[in-house]
Amino acid sequence: MLSRAATRRAYSTAAAQAVVKTTAKDTSGNLTNLTVVVNNAGAKVGKSGIAHLLSKFNFLNTGAKSALRFTRESELLGAQFSSNVTRDALVLNTSFLKADLPYFVEALGNVLVNTSFRPHELVENVYPTAKADYETAIKSNSYVGLEELHELSFRKGLGNGLLYDGSNKITLDEIKQFAQQAYTKSNVSVFGAGAVEEDLVKFINESPFAELPTGETIKSSVSIFKGKESRIKTYGESAVLVGIPIKPTEFGKFEVLSSAIGSSVLSSDISAPLFNLPGVDASSTVLKYQDAGLFVITIKGASSADVSAAVKQVKKIVESADLKSATKKAELSIALQSTFEAPLSLKVDATTPIKLVEFNYVAVGEVDALPYADEL
């Protein structure tokens, strides 16, 4: 096992000579968080749901090690690992004691290069757990609304469902092929928080990461659609989502708006107008993707009458927002959202007031009692 002198610390984002893009920072603690982000492999790519199924295959049997052996070995090391799908990327997280770095670099490399994709795993592990994820998620009407809002705003790509809903058939061969296209040197980035960069680079270069195919960076483009409305009648609480699809250059502007009217990041800022709507749970957020974003105001509550009354306030709240005095708040919000794997540096912009004219609108729940988009 490795032991490192406490005096050696490094912070650098240089790609050095690693075979894949590697970022590392050493910390004084004893824990390493090693994250692999696979770009162009999120829900926005390929058949709807295929990325979610691939994410479930990660950490199962590989040519080098059975899933049983890897699970038990990492439990013996006290480690935790997970594989998640976002709209942009597949994210593989591992956290373990510093000395175990080479073991997990090797393991993550094997996941990307060597996964066996056994037919029985698809039936016994992947389908049932993907289904459980989906069924847990759709119990929330605001999740259903958010998925619908993405579809209205982007149609394809970012508009794809995040999770596999079981409606379209996806074969094992399709998943394998998707993995081959996704797991390439140009798509994969490694982030080591609590790792010495030169060691990490060395281990990566000696690991199966080196065998990743080169691949090409796919230039994706996004189409944005506005002025759409959808209403989903179902039981449970009522939720209304108002969304404005935005370009990456507008993130700073909408962060200011979000902070001014009540951001989910700053939920204890009780004087914000959205947090003072009676009887409902309301907040706003700026969902930031690589090629586009979505500014979302969510209003939900058990009483459709309260939700309805609150929704009718939204236009006034947005258009009367005091952007000038919210810039410092937005800077704090951005700092709180910034992580090592996804550092955020946005320039806040409070110059142009935002009108709520062209937006997308989703109502879920007791829709008979909820307003239409043109009634805002």
Partner 1 sequence: MLRGSGLRSVKNLASRRFISTSNAQIQYTSLSNGVTIASEINPNATSSTVAAYISAGTRAEHPYNNGIAALTTSILASGYENGVLLSSENTKEVNGIIAQTTNGNVQEAGKVIAKILSNPTAILEKADYASAKTRLSALAESIESNPSSKVLEHLEASAFQGYSLGLPTYGTSESIADLQAEDSARLLEKYLVGSNIVISASGNFDHHALADAVDAALKVEQGVKPVTKTASFLGSEVRMRDDTLPKAYVSIAAQGESLSSPAYYVAKVAAAVFGDFDHHSTIAPYTSAKLASLVQEYHIVDKYTHFSKSFSDAGLWGFNAEISNVAAVDEFTHFILKEWNRLSISISNAEVARGKAAVKTALLRELNSTQAVASDIATKVLLTGYRASIKEALEKVDAVQTADVKAWAQASLWDKDIVISGTGQIEALLDYGRNRNEMAMMRW
Residue numbers at the binding site for partner 1 (CB under 8 A) = 6, 11, 25, 27-31, 56, 59-60, 67-68, 71-72, 75-80, 95-97, 124-126, 128-129, 132-133, 136, 193, 266-272, 328-329, 331-332, 335-336, 338-340, 343
Length of the chain: 376
The angle that helices 101-114 and 67-76 make with each other, rounded to 10 degrees, is 160
Phi, psi (deg, nearest 5) at residue 173: -60, -40
- Looking at the Cβ atoms of 16 and 67, the one nearer to partner 1 is 67
Which is closer to partner 1, CB of 27 or CB of 230? 27
Considering all CA atoms of the chain, what is the largest pairwise distance in Å, rounded to the nearest integer?
Answer: 66
Q: How far is the CB of 328 from partner 1 (least distance, A)?
A: 5
Residue given tokens 């939720």 in the structure block? 239
In whole angstroms, what is the distance from residue 67 CA to residue 295 CA?
40
What is the distance of C-alpha 249 from the center of its chain?
19
Compute the least distance from the CB of residue 271 to partner 1, in Å.
5
N- to C-terminal Cα distance for the chain? 63
Secondary structure of residue 331 in the 3-state scheme: helix
Specify the residue, 34 or 152, whose C-beta has the smaller distance to partner 1: 34
Name the CA dihedral angle for 249, 250, 256, 257, rounded to a multiple of 10 degrees: -170
**Closer residue to partner 1 (CB): 70 or 183:** 70
Q: Which is nearer to partner 1, 6 or 219 (CB)?
A: 6
Tell the smallest beta-carbon distance from residue 245 to partner 1 (Å).
27
Q: Shortest Cβ distance from residue 302 to partner 1 (Å)? A: 10
Task: Quote the CA–CA distance of 365 and 279 in Å, as a whole number.
Answer: 16
* Minimum CB distance to partner 1 smaller for 135 or for 216: 135
Is 323 in contact with 188 (CB distance < 8 Å)? no
- Cβ 112 to partner 1 shortest distance, Å: 17
Least CB distance to partner 1 at residue 359 (A): 26
